[in-house]
Structures are given as C-alpha cells and as structure tokens.
C-alpha cells in the first residue's frame, strides 16, 4: 500500500500529515511536481490571474494613460489623472456622498439587524419559519429592488408617498427621490430593506452559538436583561458584528445598482456616489484612464476600511 501514501486524494483528511522539515528546494520541487498541490490549485490560480490580478494591474497601468478605445487613442500622461483627481470637486462630492451613505446605512442595518435578531432568537414554534423568510429579500436582484422602491416612492402613486403625506411628513410638493435633502434617504431605504435581513442572519448565527453558562451566571449575579445585553451579549458578539460590518461595508461602499436605477445620481449630485462617477467617466465619457484612477481610489479606501475592521475583530479575549 505504498502508493496510497503519495496519492493526495487518499490522504486521511481528519489528521493532516505533519510536514517534516526539509530543504527549501525540495519543497519547491514538490510544489510544482505532479503529486504536489499545484495541479489541484492551477485552475483556481488561472482564474484569479485572468479575472483579478490581470485587471488590477491593467487598471493601474490605465491610470497613467489617457485611453479612448473607440478613437484608438492611447497616450501616456504620467500622474495627470491623479493630479486631476485632487482638484476634481465632483470626485470629492461623490466621496462625501459615498461616506454618508456608508455610515448611515451600516449604522441602521447593524442596529436594526441586531434588534430583529434578538427578537427572532427563540426556539418557540414558528420562529424557524420566520428566520427562513428572512432570506427572501436576499435573492432579489438589487436592480429589481431599486425599481420596486422607485415605484413605492413615486410622487403620483407610490404607497410610501401616500402614507407619508397622509401622516403629514411629506407636504406633497417635494417627492422623496426628487428632493435633494431626501433623495439619499430614499435610496438608503432600498438598501436597508434588502440587506438588513443579511445582518439578521449573521447575528442570529452568532447569537445561537453563544455559550449559555455566562447568561445563567449573569442571571444569578442579578443582572437585568438590558445589563446582560450590554455587558455579556454585545462584547461576545463584537467579532461577529465586525465581520458583518466588514462584508456589508465593502458592498455598501461600492453600491451602484440602487442609484443607477432610482436617481442616476440626482437630483443635482445629492446621490452621486463614487462608483457611479467612475462608471460615468469610463463608459459615458469614455475616459478609461480617469475611470481606472477613480476605481483604484475606491479600492484603496475599501482596503483601509477592511483592515480597520479586521483589527477591530481581533479582540484579546
């Protein structure tokens, strides 16, 4: 049975073999040999190169050029795109809208998600069905959700408009999505409706895996429900919350569908987010170089935020 020892498929996966220390070149040779891991990793690595690594470097290369593919004009411009960015008021405006959207949407989704998760964290009959129903909003394409909320907030026949006018919040003169002070809120509504359940599901998974003993101990220590939540649940959930915010945060930061469908960035620039601006520069104005620069900035900001949250998730206990 010596053959089985070299066959990677027949390896006992429950107990991975301990790697014996060996010279580096032998490890490298094994890596690229047929019975090493490389043949199994190669397809994935190929996909990564074609769809992630090559576009990234192409983007970086593009950001130093002025490129209009239909005019077949390619020109090296050095740091000009980056200099333009610095003085571009529309870029800074879109960045500010993006950050506002990012902070408000995440805050609402985390708080609301946690509240709903706490309500649904029960073994009573019926709660399993409720939890399953939560996944429904997640399967709807965001563009469709955008259309839905466009209709709901329509100034003529939208249900939400009707209700808000009925209770006197709206005066009938300023439609939600066509008023610069409320348009972003209107877009946020779609995001919150669609993605809060995602937060709920992650938080529920977290809540359900918490140890029960500290809760019993807290009860005997005399803690009230609120004190228990503040001092026990929230700290225990901090990692889960950080991960959820990280996943959603990346998504929220590059949100495109809702504004594209609902407001196209308007009225004025009140819902003009960074991803929409990058898209417009690239595909409407055919400025591929500047579009690439904008998307790289977006990537850099996401990386910084992601790292921040990964640090937050690394708590000492």
Partner 1 sequence: MATVEYRNISKSFGSVEIMRDLSLSIAEGEFAVLLGASGCGKTTLLRMTAGLETISGGELLIGGALMNEVHPRDRNIAMVFQNYALYPTMKVFDNIAFSLEIKKLPKEEIRRRVEEAAAMLNLSDYLHRYPRELSGGQRQRVAMGRAMVRDAQVFLFDEPLSNLDAKLRAHMRFEIRQLHNQVGATTIYVTHDQIEAMTMADKIVLMKGGEIEQVGAPDELYDRPVSRFAADFIGSPTMNFIEGEVVANGAAPAFAAAGIKLDLPEALSAQPGQKVTCGVRPADLVLSGSGDIEGELVLAEKTGADLNLHLTVGGADFVATAPRGVEVKPGTAVRLAIAQEKMHLFDAETGRRL
Footprint on this chain of partner 1 (rule: CB under 8 A): 211, 213-214, 216-224, 227, 231-232, 235-236, 238, 315-317
State the Cα–Cα distance between residues 233 and 216, nearest whole angstrom: 12
Q: Are 274 and 95 contacting, i.e. CB atoms less than 8 angstroms apart?
A: yes
Per DSSP, helices labelled H in the chain are 2-6, 24-32, 38-48, 54-62, 80-87, 89-120, 127-133, 142-152, 159-166, 183-208, 213-220, 225-228, 234-253, 257-262, 274-279, 288-313
The smaller minimum CB distance to partner 1, of residues 128 and 235, is found at 235
Mapped onto helix, strand or coil, the DSSP state of residue 119 is helix
The smaller minimum CB distance to partner 1, of residues 132 and 220, is found at 220
Minimal distance, residue 209 CB to partner 1, in Å: 13
CA neighbours closer than 13 Å in the CB half-sphere of residue 48: 5
State the Cα–Cα distance between residues 110 and 192, nearest whole angstrom: 10
The smaller minimum CB distance to partner 1, of residues 37 and 235, is found at 235
Minimal distance, residue 204 CB to partner 1, in Å: 20
The smaller minimum CB distance to partner 1, of residues 215 and 279, is found at 215
The smaller minimum CB distance to partner 1, of residues 15 and 212, is found at 212
Minimal distance, residue 237 CB to partner 1, in Å: 10
Listed as own residue / partner, the contacts of 226-234 with beta carbons closer than 8 Å and 24 or more positions apart are 229/118, 233/207
Minimal distance, residue 229 CB to partner 1, in Å: 13
The smaller minimum CB distance to partner 1, of residues 75 and 216, is found at 216
Identify the residue whose tokens are 């020892």.
5
3-state secondary structure 206-257: HHHCCCCHHHHHHHHCCCCHHHHHHHHHHHHHHHHHHHHHHHHHHHHHCCCH
Minimal distance, residue 307 CB to partner 1, in Å: 23
Minimal distance, residue 317 CB to partner 1, in Å: 4
The smaller minimum CB distance to partner 1, of residues 220 and 304, is found at 220
Minimal distance, residue 218 CB to partner 1, in Å: 7
């Amino acid at each position: 049975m010596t053959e089985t020892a070299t066959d990677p498929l027949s390896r006992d996966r429950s107990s991975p073999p301990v790697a014996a220390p060996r010279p580096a070149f032998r490890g490298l040779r094994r890596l690229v040999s047929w019975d090493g891991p490389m043949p199994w990793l190669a397809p994935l690595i190929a996909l990564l190169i074609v769809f992630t690594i090559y576009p990234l470097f192409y983007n970086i290369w593009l950001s130093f050029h002025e490129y209009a593919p239909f005019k077949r004009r390619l020109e090296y411009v050095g740091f000009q795109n980056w200099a333009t960015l610095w003085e571009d008021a529309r870029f800074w405006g879109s960045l500010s809208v993006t950050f506002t959207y990012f902070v408000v949407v995440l805050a609402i989704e985390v708080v609301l998600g946690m509240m709903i998760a706490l309500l649904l964290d029960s073994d009573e009959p019926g709660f399993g069905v409720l939890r399953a129903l939560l996944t429904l909003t997640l399967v709807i394409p965001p563009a469709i959700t955008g259309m839905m909320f466009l209709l709901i907030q329509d100034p003529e026949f939208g249900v939400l408009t009707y209700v808000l006018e009925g209770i006197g919040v709206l005066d009938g003169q300023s439609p939600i999505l066509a008023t610069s002070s409320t348009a972003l809120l209107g877009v946020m509504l779609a995001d919150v409706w669609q993605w809060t359940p995602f937060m709920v599901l992650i938080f529920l998974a977290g809540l359900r895996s918490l140890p029960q003993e500290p809760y019993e101990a807290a009860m005997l220590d005399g803690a009230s429900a609120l004190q228990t939540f503040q001092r026990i649940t929230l700290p225990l959930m901090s990692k889960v919350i950080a991960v959820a915010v990280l996943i959603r945060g990346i998504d929220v930061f590059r949100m495109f569908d809702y504004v594209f469908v609902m407001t196209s960035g308007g009225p004025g620039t009140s819902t003009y987010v960074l991803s929409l601006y990058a898209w417009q520069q690239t595909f409407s104005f055919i400025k591929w170089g500047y579009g690439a620069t904008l998307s790289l900035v977006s990537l850099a900001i996401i990386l910084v935020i992601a790292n921040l949250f990964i640090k937050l998730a690394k708590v000492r206990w």
